[in-house]
Every structure is written in C-alpha cells, then in structure tokens.
Amino acid sequence: MNRLLIITILVLGFGQINSQTVEIGQDAESVKRIIEWSTNEHNKPDSFGNYSSARVSSDVQYNDGVITDVIQCYRNQFYIELCMSVDFCKHYVMGNGKLAYILTQFENVSTGKLIQAFNRLYGERKQNDLYFEEDYKHCSKIYLSKNGLATIEWKNVKMNQIPSNIRQEIINKQKAQEDEAIQKKLAAEEERKRIEEITSKVYDLYKYNRPRYDGILFSIKKEIKEYFMPSSDGSYHPRSNAPSFSNLANNTEKKYRFSNTYNAYYKLEDQGYSNAGVHRVNQIKKITLIAGTDKTCSLFEDLLIKIPIIEIDGNEVLTEALFENISVDYIRGITWVRIRKDNVEFIKFPPDTDVIEKIRQDIRSTTRGSGQCIIEYEFLKVLGDETIKTQLER
C-alpha cells in the first residue's frame, strides 16, 4: 500500500489486526471480516476507558447477493501527512469476488492538497499522474471523482495501462527490485548457512575463550579446596570422606592422605527446545583417574562445575573443555610436638617427610608458648596451589 495509505492505517490502528492485511486479489468475504473487525476495535475504549475522538463505521454493498464494495468511513480522524483532521471513506471495490482496487475519498480535502502531499512523499517515483510504490508493483492516482470528492485510487500496476514513454523505465525498475530481492534472499540464505555451520559445532573452550577456561579451572581449584578444608565457621563439606580429627585420635594411624591426579572432560550437548520454547542444554562429563586410588573418581561427583555457552561471531555456541593432570594432594593428621622458642620438634606421629618442614613452619607462625602439645594439621595442594592449616588439638 502506498506510504500515505500506510500512515493512515497506522494512525487508525489498522496495522494491529493480528497480522491480517488487506491486499489486492484477496477474497471479498475475508476483506469484509477484517474491516468489520477493525471497525469494532477502533470504537472500543482503551484500557483507561477513554474513546478515540475519531469514529469509524463500516458498510457492505451487494449486487445480486455478491459483495461489490466494502466501505469503511472515518470522521474527525487526524491524518498525519495532511496535518489536519479529515472525514473520508475507503472503498474496497470487488471484482469477481476479489478485491480489485481501493478508493479513498475525502470530504474536506482538495485534490490539490493531496497532490501536494504525494509529491513530497513520492519524489522521483512519480511518473506522469501515477505515484509508484517502492516495488513498482502498486501505484496510486489522484483525481476528482464524479461525486465531487477528492479521490486516491490504489491498484496493481498493469503494464498495458502505463504510458509507453515510461513503460520500459518501470519494467527496468521492477527488474532491478526483483534482482535486489533475489540477491537479498541469496545473501540471507548464505548467512543462514554460515550461522548454521558455526552453531552446529562444539568449540574447545581453551582455544576459543581462554579467560573463561581459566575461570573454570579456578572454580575447580576453589571447589576442591572447599571440599577438603574447613569453612570460616570450622565446618567441613558434608560429603567429605576424610576421617575427623577425633577419629584419627582414636585410630592407630594418625594421619589420612588423599593423593590423586585426574583428567576432567566436560561437554555441552544440544537437547533442542522444550514445549515452552526454552533452549535445553545438557552437560556431560568424563573424569579419568591418571594416578592414585580414587578409582570411582568420587571427588568430582561433589564438584558443581559448569562450562559456559560462548559467542562466536555474535552466535551462541556450545563448548567442550579438557582439564588435564588435576593433581590433588590432601593430608589430615595429628602430631605430638615439643615447642621451644622457635624450634618445633616432632615427638610422635610426625607428618610425611615431603611436607614435614612446611607443617613445622606453619606451627611456628600460628602456635604461641612452649612445651609439649598435640597439633591438628591439614595440608592441601591442588595444581600447585598449597593451603596449610595447623591448630592446637580441640
């Protein structure tokens, strides 16, 4: 529809007819239903109970039981391109049961004012007395009807009705429009294929987003630390398998050591969309024991590690991530020491030789006084990061 008519429809709210449109060639009954519906909608109050200052009415004319004209009239309707309130009727004229053309007839607007507005809107798309749409498949003509009303006639472009001096120019412009549309369609298809190719792959998080990969690795370290070491209130992870200090005190073996190395692989899998339209993504994991005794890799059952969806060229894509040689060395023990000034002597149940000096140094820095005492100690090393905690037996 020409731009002036489109603006009129938007002002009238006609563009909100549930994506329904009125087009040349449309069935008469369908046009009738749409116009009646839009008329009723326009005359309803808004959510605050207010009515529009413009009123709309509709009518249908028949000839021998066949619809010949569907009419929709507006009173006191503001017409934005004319900068005034106008009274007009739109005639949806039928031919052989289908919409043939549309007439818009104004009661209080002159043909001169319409021509002035159209000249401004259409510019170079005006050819003689015809105003062509951008696709050059529809055009408007302004004239004074026999009933004395300024009229806009909107219809399909038929080449045999176009003056010969501009016919070839119109054909060329239509061809250019069609070629452009084809190129846009091809470009859109290429873009669709490009996006499909991008989103169909699973991307190595380490390669395509190293900061996010490092962030996950940091989370693994953090969660392993939280699994073994006490929280700020002194409590431990509820599913930790390490024996408590009280159990160690009653056991012959006064220390517990958990030393294992893993490979951890995570991958996101597309699960399609739910009935509610939510994109579902599932994460799978495969944990492999490289060295140690944790045959079931139970430690990773309690780690809440989630790898992210990332963007590649503005498109969300699934990822996979492999974290190799995750070494975890945890020791919890009880030892009997003698402290003299800065000297710490292990009397009974000394820590393992590879960590004894680190435990001794921490006892020096955390324990005050001198004499013999029982020390509870913990040592954790995850991927090279060490945490040590020592305290007097509680």
Q: Taking residues 318-332, report their average pLDDT.
A: 97
Contact between residue 137 and residue 174 where contact means Cβ atoms under 8 Å apart = yes
How many beta carbons lie within 10 A of that of residue 193, not counting itself? 10
C-alpha torsion sign, points 367, 372, 378, 379: positive
Q: Record the pTM.
A: 0.62
Element (H, E) at 353: none
- Per-state percent for the chain, helix, strand, coil, to nearest 5: 30, 40, 30
pLDDT at 271 over 60: yes
* 19 backbone φψ class: left, alpha, beta (φ>0; ψ -120 to 50): left
Name the CA radius of gyration of the chain, rounded: 41
CB 227 within 8 A of CB 299: yes
Residue 177, both tokens = 């429009």
Q: Hey, is 19 helix, strand or coil?
A: coil
Q: Which residue has the higher pLDDT, 92 or 125?
A: 92
Mean pLDDT in the chain? 89
What is residue 310's three-state secondary structure? strand
Torsion angle (degrees, nearest 10) of CA 172, 177, 182, 183: 100
CA 64 – CA 55 distance, rounded (Å): 30
Backbone angles phi, psi at 353, to 5 degrees: -60, -30
H or E segment at 194? Answer: helix 164-199
Domain residue limits, the chain:
3-157, 167-199, 202-392
In the predicted model, is pLDDT for residue 145 greater than 80?
yes
Query: Which residues are within 8 A (CB) of 262 and not within 5 positions of it... i.e. 6 or more apart?
Result: 287, 288, 289, 290, 294, 297, 299, 300, 325, 326, 328
Closest CA to 9 of 53, 42, 43, 57: 42
Identify the band that residue 199 occupies on the pLDDT scale cut at 50, 70 and 90.
very high
3-state class (DSSP) for residue 356: helix
At 284-323, the pLDDT tens digits run 999 999 999 999 999 999 899 999 999 999 999 999 999 9
